[in-house]
Amino acid sequence: MNNLKHVLTTKDFLVTGNTFHIVKNLETGILETHPKPTLAELPKYYDSQEYISHNQKSLGIISFCYKQVRSVSTKRKIKICAKELKKMSLKKRARVLDVGCGTGYFLAKCLEKGWSVKGVENNINARNVLPAIIFKDIVDGLKPLIYQSEKFDLITMWHSLEHLHDLKVVIQDMKKLLSPTGVILVACPNHKSFDASFYKENWAAYDAPRHLWHFDKKAMKALFLTHNFQLTETLPMLWDSFFVSILSEKTLRNNLFFLRGLFVGLISNVKALFSGQYSSLIYILKTKRKIK
């Protein structure tokens, strides 16, 4: 524990109310949730109708906001993916793997583009509401795909890396599944953003203990560099600051949580125009090429 520095104490606001600590690993620069639940313990922390990303039938203003943001964000994600695929000059149908695909919304949109898709999702609640058109293409882990010698042009992780128990194993497995010219796209909350510093232990994107890891740009770059990936581009997710701030205000039980969240989210984005520290970031990563 000598290489861990305490940052703040928060709690599980969604299911149990249990207390957790956010600590910084001084070797990796990554913030970690402690105590980290075991793989056997994790499912109980997702067992809530209010965990919107795994529940298509959620109601209320938060669910409405989530679905609106998801729709707009997914259109942008598809554009980013299409741009990366265009750079590859593919002469075959693009193959996309979404790790942590949730209810399959992104993959369904990929199918509309004519891309071949696979998804990884181990949460039973999310798998139960997958669209029939992609259900057969979803597996509960990366290993089955490795055994089948699958290769993908794009591997995406939209707010899923922070949920995965063993970062090293996951990145190694993705590397085995990526085509030689392929790209990994990772989206994660950024704890260096203004909204994170404003809400501190009440910042909704800490989401302990479902989020086991918490990244900033420097830590993300270093993590993938150890696996021979280079960070080629970082892109903002502008809508996340509003949604995360609204959730944070709701946690604080403010009557005007919606309006206050919009205001703080706006401030966060304005500040990020100068600092680059947006509430969430998309990282575009490619295998480092050997210099001949």
Q: What angle, 0 to 180 degrees and rounded to 10, lies between the N-to-C axes of helices 61-88 and 238-251? A: 150
pLDDT of residue 94 exceeding 60, the answer is yes
What is the sign, positive or negative, of the torsion defined by CA atoms of 34, 36, 41, 44? positive
Please report whether residue 25 resides in a domain. Answer: no
pLDDT of residue 254 exceeding 90, the answer is no
Please report whether residue 123 resides in a domain. Answer: yes
Please report whether residue 230 resides in a domain. Answer: yes
Please report whether residue 13 resides in a domain. Answer: no
Contact 281, 217 (CB under 8 A): yes
Q: What is the mean pLDDT of the chain?
A: 91
44-55 exposure pattern, b = at least 16 Cβ within 10 A, e = fewer: ebbebeebbbbb
pLDDT of residue 57 exceeding 50, the answer is yes
pLDDT of residue 101 exceeding 60, the answer is yes
Please report whether residue 222 resides in a domain. Answer: yes
Q: Which residues contact 157 (CB under 8 A, 6 or more apart)?
A: 98, 99, 100, 184, 185, 186, 187
Per-residue pLDDT at 292: 42
State the residue range of the domain holding 252.
39-287
pLDDT in tens, 116-164: 999 999 888 888 888 888 999 999 999 999 888 789 999 999 999 999 9
Please report whether residue 24 resides in a domain. Answer: no
Please report whether residue 207 resides in a domain. Answer: yes
Per-residue pLDDT at 117: 95
pLDDT of residue 31 exceeding 70, the answer is yes
Q: How many domains does the chain have?
A: 1
Closest Cα to residue 280, out of 185, 184, 190?
190
Q: Which domain CATH number covers 44?
A: 3.40.50.150
Per-residue pLDDT at 4: 94
Please report whether residue 171 resides in a domain. Answer: yes
| Of 279 and 135, more confident | 279
> Cis link prior to 209 (omega < 30° from 0)?
yes
